[in-house]
Amino acid sequence: MPMTITEKILAAHAGLDRVSPGDLIEAKVDVALANDITAPLAIKVFNEIGTEEVFDTDRVVLVADHFVPNKDIASAQQVKLVREFARSQGLKNYFEGGESGIEHVILPEKGLVLPGQLIIGADSHTCTYGALGAFSTGVGSTDLGAVMATGEIWLKVPPTILLRYEGSLRPHVGGKDLILHTIGLLGVEGALYCAMEFSGSVIRNLPMHQRFTMSNMAIEAGGKNGIIAPDETTLAYVAGRTSARFEIFKSDPDAGYDRVIDIDVNQIEPQVAFPHLPSNVRPVSTAGGVTIDQVVIGSCTNGWLEDLRDAARVLKGRKVSAGLRLIVMPGSPLIYKMAMQEGILETFLDAGAVIGPPCCGPCLGGHMGILASGERAVATTNRNFIGRMGHPESEVYLTNPVVAAASAVLGRIGGPDEL
């Protein structure tokens, strides 16, 4: 029976020859992940189960990245709880401070997530790792607590939507624009509990950081997971990051899909998602010159080194608009260091930016960039719901790093061609 890549991975982890959409399976988990917000409840559930030890001290990963450096007493208490649990369990992969960074950036960077794996995280953007050809999805903290104890999870096999991207990308268009355009086509519930399989010649030519961006935002269309079949680009990224063995899965040519959607990228401009949904997209050329107060470049969506390079090229020799706040947050300490070595951070500072530590910061309205009433921000993040980055009467506009940088200079939403 032909299967998709998602079905093959789930079948392998359930010990089955084949699975079909709608099947309920019990699958073994390769990596269980939580952060400083979601881990405390998961730890509580783990303790209530009564299991003394996690299923594998190598494969439970805890990352302090949301409210760190600790913004207040409550967040300090949360991180303390997670830290003490990690120490008591002898977890080999607990990350905090200078060893930390945004979870969905550092796990691939450190070779902790690999092709063919089944990865469960108590964070909705765990779907990021599908860019490596893994089945990766987010769950609630209660489920994650049970996974930490057992190393297994119940899953319903999702149907798959095949998205085929063909054509030639226009200047300044990348993975962020492709996924925003796709979310605009589907709507925020258009792929509800479906696997979103990204394919086509355009995807095969995308660099890894843009593949991560696309898989990261599958959840914004309601997807259970976003996934890209491993190829030479994937293997080149993984090479040198781990010595662990992994298995490559690919969809059969005659696999059954719930839907097949062909997307011609030739006419896709850089996209802007207007408030208050990631699906409320329009081309930057029709954005209408919306004035802004803040620009945020970073997050698990666009905090990769290449994203910073792209933004820095636009900002080189330029200054941010008077009265506008530009906040840049590299995705990891390694990215921070490399950006420093390449002079990227100097470019940002010369332009008038604030460089933040590698963490989630303003993306979730946590800290380091909260919006006041009536303020507008352009952000390279993944969500722009009401109150997402601060006051419920503020607005967030999602773009790629190049448009974000250009907008910071213009003081309004606009593309680099306007400079």
Say whether pLDDT at 1 is over 90.
Answer: no
CA dihedral 26, 248, 331, 418 (to 10 degrees): -120
Residue 102 CA from chain centroid, whole number: 9
Query: For a pLDDT cut of 70, what percent of the chain falls above it?
Result: 100
Superfamily of domain 5-245+256-262: Aconitase, domain 3 (3.30.499.10)
Report pLDDT digits (tens) over 323-368. 999 999 999 999 999 999 999 999 999 999 999 999 999 999 989 9
Q: What is the mean pLDDT of residues 372-384?
A: 97
Please tell me the predicted confidence (pLDDT) of residue 25.
98
For all residues of the chain together, what is the average pLDDT? 96
Burial class (CB in 10 A: 0-12, 13-18, 19+), 111: middle
In the CATH hierarchy, which fold is given to the domain comprising 273-418? Answer: Aconitase; domain 3 (3.30.499)
Domain boundaries, the chain: 5-245+256-262, 273-418
Please tell me the predicted confidence (pLDDT) of residue 289.
86
Burial class (CB in 10 A: 0-12, 13-18, 19+), 178: buried
Q: What is the mean pLDDT of residues 152-177?
A: 97
Q: 240 pLDDT band (50/70/90 cuts)?
A: confident
Q: What is the mean pLDDT of residues 381-396?
A: 94
Please tell me the predicted confidence (pLDDT) of residue 235.
96
Report pLDDT digits (tens) over 12-24. 999 999 999 999 9
Query: For a pLDDT cut of 90, what percent of the chain falls above it?
Result: 97
Q: Name the H helices within 205-277.
A: 208-216, 232-238
Q: Where are the beta strands (DSSP E) in 113-248?
A: 118-121, 135-138, 152-156, 160-166, 195-199, 225-227
Structure tokens, 390: 């601060």
Pairing of the two strands 152-156 and 24-28: antiparallel
Report pLDDT digits (tens) over 281-332. 999 999 988 999 999 999 999 999 999 999 999 999 999 999 999 999 999 9
Say whether pLDDT at 173 is over 90.
Answer: yes
